Structure 1
Amino acid sequence: MVTLLENYPAFLLIFMRVTAFFVTMPFFSYRNIPNTHKIGFSFFLAWIMFFSINPPPIEVNGQYFMLILKEVLLGLAIGFSAYFILAAVQIAGSFIDFQMGFAIANVIDPQTGAQSPLIGQFLYTFALLLLITTNAHHLLLDGIYYSYQFVPINQPFLPMGNENIIEFIITSFNSMFIIAFQMSIPVVGSLFLVDIALGIVARTVPQLNIFVVGLPLKIIVSFIMLILTMSALFLLMSQLFETMTYTMRGLMELFGGGGNQPT
């Protein structure tokens, strides 16, 4: 077995892929986790993966810098593919907030530091708890480990211009919005019926101030529907985790030109 000191260029490539993966991956890339912990965890994970995959000897030459760039791009792409699938929860919350009237106010997401809708952040917190409870975050680590069976460490470039990759990314975005629509349709549909009822009341009883009655009524109906459909939302979140895993796997297969099936 090749030792780490004899093949340190290969270890550096593994470390670059794992570190770039942690930059964009859900849960592990959040600001709550100190950067020193991220780097240390990346180092020890790369150490374990080095002796697991037993990479071939790699020389430091002009092509080596292209390999470093390829590893960084691959890690960012795999992590981002998992992140934007999980972002369907916040998109569903945006749909609900828009109908509730909460879209005027956003909150700061402590994990990412970006602004997010109120209901979206509420649902996203439940999604993260479900992610940890079902050990789905282990699947993310499996994804970066099995990526070497699809994209070898000595592959010089990624086929970024492949039309199949572009089609796959568009299909993944489509799946993300479909799941977001499925998560939000019970509340959004109920609020649409409330809007119709308020419109009928406004035409039949002009003396009633609909703007005073409508907003509290829509908020009450929204929270009632969220309570009633919470179990269905958790089922959709579980489906979202499966879609996230399949997206990572499919993207790695396309980057590797088909790749081998993991054992």
Structure 2
Amino acid sequence: MVELINLSALPVFLLIFVRIAAFFVTLPLFSYATIPTPFKIGFSFFLALIMYATVESPAVPIDQTYLLLLMKEAVVGLLIGLLAYMILSAVQIAGGFIDFQMGFAIANVVDPQTGAQSPLIGQYFYILALMFLLSVNGHYLLIDGIFYSYQLIPPETFIPLQNNGDEMAQFIIQTFNQMFLIAFQMAIPIVGCLFLVDVALGIIARTVPQLNVFVVGLPLKIFVSFVAILVFLSLYIVLVDNLFETMFAAIRDLMHLSRM
């Protein structure tokens, strides 16, 4: 607190504050629209104050490159938070696959984080994943990740995009592809069961033409889906655990690429 009175310390503190504030803009759970903006700003300010006392950084002069440093800090914070949100979005994508097979694709709910419509089962899985994240203190690990990012990407240095820009773009594309693979792994048990139900309904429609399968099929698929979700719920907990490990590893690898 005493050091912040020194004007030479304010530029470094402002760089730290910009990265943390940008990190909370896109980070899952902390970026919810239901969380008041003054709380986010105040939490970012006091967290930046704590990190300033522990981050070793030389004095940064306010010159023509300082604005570029501020932009770099905002980009780093947004990238780390966006990467975490992108990987967690695999849960909602998996729910979208399941909803399409269940017949729930026509009914959506409003996601409180983005304000956009999201699938019913996807929102249920997403809330379940966030509760699991809080139960294992994963939000502490996310804050710990932004703290250790200053060791790999100090506030006073620039990101050498001319050396690893292609590798970083390739890494983002691979992470995006991995998100869809995880979503497919989460959705395939339910989608597989519903495919078998469709096959059974097709056989019944051919053998018993008097039975209206369009009336019986939708409630039957919904019932089978709920039973399958109940059976495979423990599998989803394991997949969400692997999803968190993938998210933390992706954030670490991104910071290592930014350091090269």
Q: Residues of 1 paired with 2:225 and 2:159: CA distance?
A: 49
Deviation by residue 1:187-206 (Cα, 9 ceiling, x = unmatched)? 00000001111111111111
Provide, for residues 146-203 of structure 1, a one-character-per-residue CA deviation record: whole Å limited to 9, x for no partner. 1111111111345177111111111111221111111111100000001111111111
Tell me the amino acid that sits aligned with residue 64 of structure 1.
Y
The residue type paired with residue 191 of structure 1 is L
| Equivalent-residue separation in structure 2 for 1:158 and 1:31 (angstroms) | 34
Q: Name the structure with the higher helix share.
A: 2
Alignment match, 1:195:
198
Q: Deviations over 1:116-164 (max 9, x none)?
A: 0000011111111101000011111011101111111111345177111
Whichever residue aligns with residue 113 of structure 1, its letter is G
Quote the residue 1:122 is aligned against: 124
Aligned-pair Cα RMSD in Å:
1.5
Secondary structure of 2:3's aligned partner: coil
CA distance in structure 1 between the partners assigned to 2:55 and 2:159 by the alignment: 20
1:11 corresponds in structure 2 to: 13
What stretches of structure 2 of length at least 5 have no aligned partner? none
| Structure 1: runs of 5 or more not aligned | 258-263
Q: Deviations over 1:3-50 (max 9, x none)?
A: 222310000000000000000001111112111110011001100111
- CA contact under 8 A between 2:159 and 2:259: conserved in structure 1? no
Q: How does 1:1-263 map to 2 (within 5 A)?
A: 3-4=3-4, 5=6, 6-157=8-159, 159=161, 162-257=165-260
C-alpha separation in 2, matches of 1:157 and 1:222: 47
Question: Which deviates the most, 161-170 or 194-203?
Answer: 161-170
Q: What letter is aligned with 1:49?
A: M
Normalization by structure 2: what TM-score? 0.96
How many residue pairs end up in the alignment?
257
CA-to-aligned-CA distance 1:57-77 (integer Å, 9 cap, x gap): 000000000000100011101
1:218-242: per-residue Cα shift (whole Å, max 9, x none)? 0000000000010110111111111
Do the aligned partners of residues 39 and 158 (structure 1) sit closer, same or farther apart at CA in structure 2, a change above 3 Å counting?
farther
